[in-house]
Every structure is written in structure tokens, then in C-alpha cells.
Structure 1
Amino acid sequence: MARQAARLRDVFHVTNCTLDVTSRGRKAIMKLADNLLANYTGSIAGLPADAWSVQCGEGTEEDVKIAYRRNDDGSNTAIVCTSATFLLPLPMRRVFDLLKSNLLRVKWDVLVNGGCVKEVVRVANGVGSEDAVSILHVKHGSGANKETMMILQNSCYDASGSFMVYSSLDKHVMEMITTPGGEEAMGNIALFPAGFSLVPLADPANAGSPIGEAGGTVMTVGFQILMKLARGTGLCPRSVSSAIKIMTEHIETIKDTLLNSHPVFYRTIQSPN
């Protein structure tokens, strides 16, 4: 109840924007972010079960789960969700902070891909300072070769578990958000979310520490991509192999980035003493 009350308060009264977004536009952003989170969690869990088919799961070489659902547009394509869970020897608080860092994001996010990230819209979304819906502006290159893109991000930190879910936004979506009345046409926007969910793992040696401030983190990584279906009804083996390869490389990049950004703590965790 406290989170919902804070959410309603902040949508109408508290926002940090460098773009001209109306209160209705902010509400549209929140609705879009809600859909983004629901889409992400539903695909990771494979729910509803009659919509998603599980191609691979626990027991594959990389323990990667792949689920897919057919598009309804007759294009013989499917939305493929690839996910995996692993343990990081870092506290959840630290993992969340590192993932939220726009300076560090350039090292692990393929959407950013070496660009410069700036938050241009932020709508608070609860009682915690880290609970927010944001629109990030990503710039690539400079001068005449400059390219830009937008990312919608929904994040929340809580001692019981945290998440950060995001997706790229088309230019016309931003025009809908920033144009009075344009938010009415946002109901059927297709997003392909990626993100992380974090669960704290207690450390018996630091039993007195607050939850999430010590110990490790169980991290689930997931992303959606659009793929062609085989001539039958399922994914072709090449698509499955490609999805597993992308996920495996993504996990290694995440591990390297987070652990190397916190070397002192990492060496302490690894020390036999």
C-alpha cells in the first residue's frame, strides 16, 4: 500500500525531466513500464503456459532456458525468451548499484555498445529512492555521424529482491510520449525486454548485516529477441544454438564487469582465510 500511494503521488507531482513530458505522458510511461515488467516476468516464467513453449531448460550444457511464442501477424516468426540463473559473490546492494551505473553500462549493455548514456526522464515509482521508471538517451558517435536511441527502464530495490528491466524505444514512441494526446495510441506498442532479477543470499559469517548488504546474490538474466521459425512449428537448431551462445557470452560479460568493478571485495570473497 505504501508503494502504491507513493507511486500515485509521484506520477502527478514529482519527476525529473529534461524532455517536455505532460502528466498524462508520465502516466503513459508508467503504464508502458508496467507492461514491460509484466512481459519480462511472464516470459521468464513461461506464463501463461499455453502461450509459451519451452525448447530448452535445466540440463542443457549451459543450463539456459529457452521459451518461445509465435507471433500472431502471420510472419512465421517467434518471440524467443532466453534466461539463466547463476550466483555472484557480491551483495545484492552492490550488484544493483553497479547495474544502475550509467558510466559502467557501456561495458555490458549491447544496446549502449560504447555510447554515452544520460537519463532524460525519471518518474519515481515507490517509497525507495531506487524505485523509478526512467528513459535513457544513448548517443553514439559525434557530428554528422551521431546516432541516438532511447531506452525505457523500470527498476526497484528491495531487501527481499530487486529487478532492473529495460527495452529500446522507437522514435515514434517517444513522439507519442512527448506529444499531447499521443499517449492514447501507446496501448499496442510491442517491446522486447531484457533485464535482471536479484535475490539476496545470506552470509552466515555476517548474520548481523542487513539483508542484501552482505553475502552473495542469485541473479537471473533474461532477454527477448525475434527469430524465424523452422518450417515446422518450432525453432530451428541453429536458432537455439545462437540464443545459447548469446546468453553465455552475456553472462560472462556481466560477471567480468561486475567483479572487476569491485576487486577488493572479490579478492576478499575468494580468499581461503
Structure 2
Amino acid sequence: MFSGIVSRATTLEVLSTGVAGNYNGALQVMTSEFQVPSPLVPTRESYFVRYCKQHSDGTWAVVDVSLDSLRQSPHVRCRRRPSGCLIQEMPNGYSKVTWVEHVETDDRSVHSMYRPLVSSGLAFGAKRWVSTLDRQCERLASVMASSIPSGDIGVITTAEGRRSMLKLAERMVVSFCGGVSASTTHQWTTLSGSGAEDVRVMTRKSVDDPGRPPGIVLNAATSFWIPVEPKRVFDFLRDESTRSEWDILSNGGVVQEMAHIANGRDHGNCVSLLRVNSTNSSQSNMLILQESSTDLTGSYVIYAPVDVVAMNVVLNGGDPDYVALLPSGFAILPDGSDGSGEGCVSGLGEDGSGGSLLTVAFQILVDSVPTAKLSLGSVATVNNLIACTVERIKAAVSGDGVQ
């Protein structure tokens, strides 16, 4: 549900299961790790108790408060003061959600480029939680939709095919976010990277994981600021007609959308299946699965090469868990500025004149043998790939090519 914010959540102990199994009165001790999609913002870990209560008027309260004072640790950078949400049922069948994030945190290790965003509350605050909740409700409605108009070419109309493709896209997004933020959950080993201009490179060995190709995987990520509003960057990166301007691996081939699933009010919220019409015959059996997603606090364009045969199984409602994925893509966040140097909390949907904080990340299989040694040449190749991609994006969105 909150994969862009929560990289790990574990229930350590259930002190009370609540009344009649409906969570009223439930009390749980939990630990969570919260993230922002950038290697320049450290994750926040918190150890807390969560209490759920249904009031007499039907309103639900879900409240967290840190227990770190009971478990002293010099490494604790985030304590949750009473935080959580109130959920009130409305007469029209909707729900009214009020969210509160009240934390005590040490942000000295956040890179200066991201401090205005973190201070604005758009990185970890209530606005991001509510925007993500709203976005996920849209996504859930798309999964549950029973009647899909079939007028548009390429729209996936079968319920089974939609569910399988959306489930595969969700796994792709979770894998991307975990790799970008260097969450402790995802078992990456950092090789290099420090400072704003550097690319952080991590590696992991993939063995007996049906959702990933076997071998050594490199994950390279970098974040930078560009003086272009986030919506403009998002529209450029998600558009298949401009993909050849930045996607080096497509070898200049023409990219066409074969199928898509709309999963939100904004037309930029969708899952697409793309085909690269390349002169390279070795790419003839490769498609690209892409999810583009936007809300008031941030946008994503995440994609992964997928096998034609495997995707046919998914489109027919087959199990997507056995499709091997290595996601790459972009996280686009507002810079927390209104363009005048003053901090603000305007999001993507508002007409702020601030720039964008763009994170670019690639996951690439560099050796299909998990026991092989990682070569310096592989690291250099990935570094070069990400540097060239960054320069292409800067040149394209800063020029006149994007409207």
C-alpha cells in the first residue's frame, strides 16, 4: 500500500488482538523503516506501539507512539510522537481521513539539496501519506473494476489480465523504491558513492529468486536538481514518443505502446506495455513494462524489460510472480521551493515555479553466474550509462523540446 514510503514494517508483538477480531482495541509493538526515493536522504527507523480504536460515532483512530525511550539506542534518528489517522465514514459511502505526522528527528545527515523538501513535510509528512493513500485507492479501484470500455486500442479489458499485470507492476515499483533508498531490507552492498555529484553503486547476488534473473545485479542511483517544474519532467519521461531522447538502451528504436491500464484520475497514472522496434534482432523478443504514477507530492516513471512469452502468460491472467524483473526508472519530487529561494509546500499539482529533484536509478544484470567476481569494468559501464542518461535528460528538458 505505502511501498514508496515504507520500506519495512514488522509486527514484533501483539499485546491485544482487539474485540471480535475487527482491530477495535488492538495493540501491537512494531518497527518500521521509512524512505524517500533518493540515495541522498537516509531512511528513518522507528520502534513504536500502534493502537486501534473505534469510537462510539463509528470513527476509527489508528495511533502510533515511539517506544524508543524504553530501548535506548545512540543510532535512533526518528521518534514518533503520537501520529496516525482518523477514519470517518461519510454518508455518500466515502471516507474522510485526517492524518497527523508528529516526529522528532535528526536530519543533519540529509543532503542540503533535499532539506527544503524534508522541512516542507512533503518527504515524510502527513500530506505525502494522504496523497499516497488516495493514489493507492485509485489503483485498487482499477484492480476491482468489473466493466472496462473496450473502445480504445490497446486497453486490457479482461479482469484476470488486469489483475496479473497490475500485480507485476506493483512488485516492480517495490523493488525500484527499495533499491533507490538503500533500505536495510533489500540486502544491497554499497560499493561507492558520496556527495551530490557521485553515483551510488550497490550490488547483490540473485539466487533461487523466481522474480529476478539469477546472477550479479548492479544498482546505480544518483539524484540531482534541475530548474524545470516536476510535471514537465514527468510528462517528458513517461511519453514513449520522446523515449529515444534519453533511453540509451533502446538504441534509437521507435517505442510503441502495445497495451495499457489506466489506474487513476490523472491520465499520467497508468501501466503500459511498450515495444521497441529496434534493428537489433537480439531485442526482438523484449518488451518494456512501465508504470507511471503522479500525485501532489511526487511522481514515478518505473520500467523493466520483460520477456514476450512471460508477458503473454500474465496478460492471460497467469501468475506474475515468476516473471523476472530488474526495474529502472525515475523519481521526480518538488524541490520544496517556490523558485524565489523561499521554502514552500506546493506539490506537483500546483502552479509553483520551483525546480525538480530527479533521481535516476538502474538495476542491471552484469553476470548471469551468481558466484562470479564483479569486474571494475562492469561498474564503470553502469556509471557511464547513468551519467549519459542524466546529461541527455538535462539537455532535453532544459531546451525547447518539452512543452
| TM-score class, shorter | 0.7 to 0.9
Q: Kindly, what percent of the aligned residue pairs are identical? A: 29
Q: Match of 1:166, as an amino acid?
A: Y
The whole-number CA distance in structure 1 between the counterparts of 2:282 and 2:304 is 23
Counterpart pick for 1:101 among 239, 248, 258 = 239
Corresponding residue SS for 2:245: coil
Distance of aligned partners of 1:173 and 1:229 in 2 relative to their CA distance in 1, 3 Å threshold: closer
Corresponding residue SS for 2:219: strand
| Structure 2: unaligned runs, 5 residues or longer | 1-132
Question: Greater share of helix residues, 1 or 2?
Answer: 1
Match of 1:41 in 2: 177
Shift of 1:48: 3.5
Given the alignment of the two structures, is residue 216 of structure 1 paired with residue 216 of structure 2, yes or no?
no
Q: How does 1:1-273 map to 2 (within 5 A)?
A: 1-11=133-143, 12=145, 13-14=147-148, 16-18=152-154, 22-49=158-185, 51-59=187-195, 62-73=197-208, 77-141=215-279, 147=284, 149-179=286-316, 181=317, 183-184=318-319, 186-201=320-335, 202-205=337-340, 211-212=347-348, 213=351, 214-228=353-367, 235-262=374-401
The whole-number CA distance in structure 2 between the counterparts of 1:125 and 1:20 is 12
Larger gyration radius, structure 1 or structure 2: 2
Shift of 1:141: 4.6
Distance of aligned partners of 1:176 and 1:237 in 2 relative to their CA distance in 1, 3 Å threshold: same
Contact 2:164–2:315 (8 Å) recurs in 1: no
Contact 1:159–1:200 (8 Å) recurs in 2: no
The whole-number CA distance in structure 2 between the counterparts of 1:205 and 1:232 is 52
Q: Match of 1:107, as an amino acid?
A: E
Shift of 1:87: 0.8
Shift of 1:18: 2.5
Per mean C-alpha deviation after superposition, the further-off stretch among 228-237 and 21-30 is 228-237
Corresponding residue SS for 1:187: helix
Contact 2:240–2:256 (8 Å) recurs in 1: yes
Shift of 1:172: 1.0
The alignment's TM-score, normalised by the length of structure 2, stands at 0.57
Corresponding residue SS for 1:9: helix
Provide Cα deviations, 1:88-141, integer angstroms capped at 9, x if missing partner: 110001111111222211111134322222222221223433211111122235
Q: Which structure carries more relative contact order (alpha carbon 8 Å, separation 6+)?
A: 1
Per mean C-alpha deviation after superposition, the further-off stretch among 12-21 and 38-47 is 12-21
Shift of 1:221: 0.1
Distance of aligned partners of 1:243 and 1:122 in 2 relative to their CA distance in 1, 3 Å threshold: same
Distance of aligned partners of 1:139 and 1:262 in 2 relative to their CA distance in 1, 3 Å threshold: closer
Figure out how many residues of one structure are paired with residues of the other and give that number: 259
Per mean C-alpha deviation after superposition, the further-off stretch among 96-105 and 81-90 is 96-105
Per mean C-alpha deviation after superposition, the further-off stretch among 242-251 and 89-98 is 242-251
Contact 1:140–1:147 (8 Å) recurs in 2: yes
Shift of 1:163: 0.7
Q: Match of 2:386, as an amino acid?
A: M
The alignment's TM-score, normalised by the length of structure 1, stands at 0.81
Distance of aligned partners of 1:145 and 1:187 in 2 relative to their CA distance in 1, 3 Å threshold: closer
| Structure 1: unaligned runs, 5 residues or longer | 266-273
Match of 2:110 in 1: none
Shift of 1:69: 0.8
Contact 1:152–1:169 (8 Å) recurs in 2: yes
